[in-house]
Structure 1
Amino acid sequence: MKSPLTYLSQLSQVIGRPVCSLGEVVWSRVGACLAIRMLRGAGLRSSSALTHDVIRHVRKHKMAAAFRRVWSNGRVFSQSCRRFSTGRGLLPGPRPLPFLLVTGGGYLGYKQYQKWGQGEDGAPPPVATPTQVALYRSFPTRLLSRAWGRLNGVELPTWLRKPIYSLYIWTFGVNMQEAAVEDLHHYRNLGEFFRRRLKPAVRPLCASSCLTSPADGRILHFGRVKNSEVEQVKGVTYSLEHFLGPQKRRCKDSSSSSSFRDDLLSSPDSDLFHVVIYLAPGDYHCFHSPTDWRVELRRHFPGSLMSVNPGVARWIKELFCLNERVVLTGQWQQGFFSLTAVGATNVGSIRIYFDQELQTNTPRYSKGSFHDHSYIADQTVKFAGEGGVALQKGESVGEFNLGSTIVLLFEAPKDFSFNLQPGQRIRVGEGLGSL
């Protein structure tokens, strides 16, 4: 019967590595399986004899010392019999392996929370109590979002860009075939990858619809606004006045006792409608003008940065009123119109292209405060005229750093009808409804 050392030597010849470095192979899954099968094929039945021979072989070739050198170097690990090193001084922040572990763990947690948000029997979970909301708001989500924003700006080494972006693409189902630049090495950091541009022809505008989708995402809710309450998801509402803030009365015929909703309408023959679109992390992160309209006012509400995931939206009432948001209000052909970009965890940065003065997620703010900026005859804002900033349907308006939510509130004739279904996927330029 041949000695097990003979089979180990034969194994090293097959792999093409010397016997003294077989520890790196045996400790890998492939090497371990091959070694065990060959040793069993030699007819070994005595565990003591096997242990004695292996220990003698390890001592003879000093493989134990080699193991200590490999494992003491935290930047080297083995996978499928090949070594991978992050090198020295390439990244100022976290190393790739912890980054991948954190990303993977976050994805699993995200999926588990989605499952919990639906409830065990498909019913929505109960609404959070004020104590639960206060506890959630006490988390340092604003600080974490600022840290995430800085991490997004860290330039990645060229060799690391493809594996990092590929993991993100696989996790969130990103369609890179629509990107203007498909080469992953082109994006120097995560921020550039999140804000990637699309090919011009992949988002055609629906010419037959007076109102188109401003973003890629999923329809959370839509319909008429009743009793000055808006549904963020089915069965969970928020106050229209708290969401938009004080507004001037637009209808001359409205009485002093009229509701906040009625004060927004310019005609008694009109009604107020809303659409809520959720942008997932894998969606296109820019938002566009849904129609031809004129922006008169920007109102910035500093606030919390809680998640706007549909599961959280079902759980926390008035979530959109608590989170930081940027409200653009103005006029379109039917009267009042507003587009609101709602911030979320890791989405503290909301950018409006024509407003360079806007700064979101600042370290300090007063609770319940808001900051107004009028675009009417504003010389500091590009494209601003006497009536505000004129936007064309499909024109780029702004961007998020990650997924978030867009809320449209608009006046339209009472016979306006939506061409939507709850929960449906929608893309920029697709029709929302018709007159």
Structure 2
Amino acid sequence: MCLRPSLSLSPAEVSRSWLQVPRLDLRHRLSALRGGVCQPAPWRRRPLAFLCYVLSISALRPLSKRVALYRSFPTRLISRAWGHLNGVKLPNWLRKPVYSLYIWTFGVDMKEAAVEDLHQYRNLGEFFRRRLKPAVRPLCASSCLISPADGRVLHFGQVKNSEVEQVKGVTYSLEKFLGPQEGRGQESSRSFRERLLTSPDNDLFHVVVYLAPGDYHCFHSPTDWKVELRRHFPGSLMSVNPGVARLVKDLFCLNERVALTGQWQHGFFSLTAVGATNVGSIRVYFDQELKTNTPRYSKGSFHDHSYVANGNSVLTAVCEGVVPVDGGVALQRGEAIGEFNLGSTIVLLFEAPKDFKFNLQPGQRIRVGEGLGSF
């Protein structure tokens, strides 16, 4: 078939029409060959799509290998470096931009802070550990047990079979978490949970509160009780984010933590502060001897300090308002106990009558002083 230019076209238009014919023919041929060797490689046309493809391939590696790789990270060293960085004094002109970015990123409510002026915080550490105005955390009068920290409730309930839920569906050993309990009987016929109980009419309960980076980082006494023992477990400092907690079994048993154990009106009571990445520093106000995330401590060990045997020596270490008594350190409901350097987790394990009921929902936000439950 012969293509003839229209007589009505000008010479220039005729020239353009002849040039367009092979171009159109080439387009049709390329369309027919789409997907063949003439098709440009998709990653050359879409580099972002190619990057996503590579990342998806790496994500297909066995989960166990990825978890093992994460566990091998030098989280203790990283956290010590972060601690030094937190203590670096910021120039006055840089403080407001840095803290404002943090406030915007994590949704910090500075109206609750005792010091709202950002220029007053000399370094990141002081800003993370900011105190609150006295009236912003009223104590619930109708509950015998109040929240020890601002955060999110990860899990709560009765302890069954000496196992505690880390997050839904993932458990860890109560004995591994608290360590051996002296003077509570070691009969092989009784479970670890049963050995903690002082009365057959009681049961063992637990609450896990996760503190996000934007939360208030001090933790308080959830009730009137007496601390008899401090047990420090050096360990890893992996993230305690709920997503990580679902992947790493025994995360709370692997991470560095400080367990305070003693008695309240219904029997056994314990509050454990669990460290996390960049939260190697766990401070207990009435115990100046406690030093966490230091190279001298090795993983897999624990170190005890009895407030019963050394009740008199505690007098030199307590802060104002904390009263040492015969047999331990007495803490009052709502009293500040200590602080984290960023955000982490508080685990409460306590004995109570079997009719104790939690007034909580999984995943709910909670603040210091709000009720946890009642009889």
Aligning the two structures, in what range does the TM-score lie when normalised by the shorter sequence?
Answer: 0.7 to 0.9
CA contact (8 A) 1:248 1:264 kept: no
Q: Does 1:150 align with 2:84?
A: yes
What TM-score comes out, normalization by structure 1 length?
0.69
Q: What's the offset of the Cα at 1:321?
A: 0.1
Counterpart position of 1:317: 249
The whole-number CA distance in structure 2 between the counterparts of 1:335 and 1:293 is: 10
CA contact (8 A) 1:128 1:316 kept: no
Counterpart position of 2:145: 211
Counterpart position of 1:406: 346
Q: Does 1:289 align with 2:221?
A: yes
Q: What's the offset of the Cα at 1:366?
A: 2.7
Q: Does 1:234 align with 2:168?
A: yes
The whole-number CA distance in structure 1 between the counterparts of 2:297 and 2:110 is: 38
* Identity within the alignment, %: 83
Cα distance per residue 1:112-153 (max 9 Å; x no partner): xxxxxxxxxxxxxxx963x54442222111111001101111
- The one-letter code matched in structure 2 to 1:385 is V
Summarize the alignment of residues 35-434 of structure 1 with structure 2, pairs less than 5 Å apart: 129=64, 131-248=65-182, 250=184, 256-376=188-308, 377-381=310-314, 382=318, 383-434=323-374
Moved more, 355-364 or 415-424: 355-364
- The one-letter code matched in structure 2 to 1:135 is L
CA contact (8 A) 1:265 1:336 kept: yes
The whole-number CA distance in structure 2 between the counterparts of 1:255 and 1:147 is: 45
* Structure 1 runs, 4 residues or longer, greater than 4 Å off: none
CA contact (8 A) 2:67 2:247 kept: no
Q: What's the offset of the Cα at 1:256?
A: 4.0
What TM-score comes out, normalization by structure 2 length?
0.80
Counterpart position of 2:10: none
CA contact (8 A) 1:142 1:348 kept: yes
- The one-letter code matched in structure 2 to 1:148 is W
What RMSD in Å do the two structures reach over aligned CA positions?
1.6
Structure 2 unpaired stretches of 5+:
1-61
The whole-number CA distance in structure 1 between the counterparts of 2:174 and 2:206 is: 11
* Partner secondary structure for residue 313 of structure 2: coil
Compared with structure 1, are the counterparts of its residues 128 and 358 closer, same or farther at alpha carbon in structure 2 (3 Å cutoff)? farther
Larger RCO (CA within 8 A; separation ≥ 6): 2
- The one-letter code matched in structure 2 to 1:334 is H
Aligned length: 307
- The one-letter code matched in structure 2 to 1:393 is R
- The one-letter code matched in structure 1 to 2:98 is I
The whole-number CA distance in structure 2 between the counterparts of 1:174 and 1:181 is: 13
The whole-number CA distance in structure 2 between the counterparts of 1:178 and 1:285 is: 13
Cα distance per residue 1:160-194 (max 9 Å; x no partner): 10000000000000000000110000101001101
The whole-number CA distance in structure 1 between the counterparts of 2:330 and 2:100 is: 39
Structure 1 unpaired stretches of 5+:
1-126
* Partner secondary structure for residue 180 of structure 2: coil
Q: What's the offset of the Cα at 1:283?
A: 0.1
